[in-house]
Amino acid sequence: MRFSVNKSEKYTVLIPEEEKLDSLKAPQLKAEIVTMFQSGTENLIIDLSNVKYVDSSGLSSILVANRLAGEVNGRLVLAGLNEHVMKLIKISKLETVLNLLPTVQEAIDSVFLHEIEKDIEGEDEN
């Protein structure tokens, strides 16, 4: 599976460069996501603007990313979803579980807001 990765201090943007995220490609994506979180990623933005089709295997890899982000008190945000991918997420009733935003910039803003909230909560505990 072809993808590009842009790392920043507070987040990583993963951009699949494939039109299909299916049972042939999803295991490679899942492996990359697991590796990212093992190497310290907390906040992951997946830019799906190139992806035109997702099946249950693709959704599974996205849910793994969501779980791993939650385990490190991070955030997973999906950006750039097309109509077909959004429809599948809604049919699967995952729109309330996943963070979905129209653009990568909005996803970045969401991650920074999440980081600010974590900092405030940490100060309240002290």
Decide: 47 and 104 in contact? Cβ < 8 Å: yes
Q: Where are the alpha helices (DSSP H) in 19-103?
A: 26-38, 56-71, 83-91
pLDDT tens digits in sequence order for the chain, 126 residues long? 899 999 999 999 999 999 999 999 999 999 999 999 999 999 999 999 999 999 999 999 999 999 999 999 999 999 999 999 999 999 999 999 999 999 999 999 999 999 999 889 887 765
* Greatest distance between any 2 Cα atoms in the chain: 48
User: Residue 35 sits in which domain range?
Assistant: 3-125
pLDDT value of position 121: 85
Query: Which residue in the block uniquely carries the two structure tokens 């490190």?
Result: 72
Which CATH number goes with the domain that contains 58? 3.30.750.24
pLDDT value of position 126: 59
pTM above 0.85, yes or no: yes
- When divided into structural domains, the chain yields a total of 1
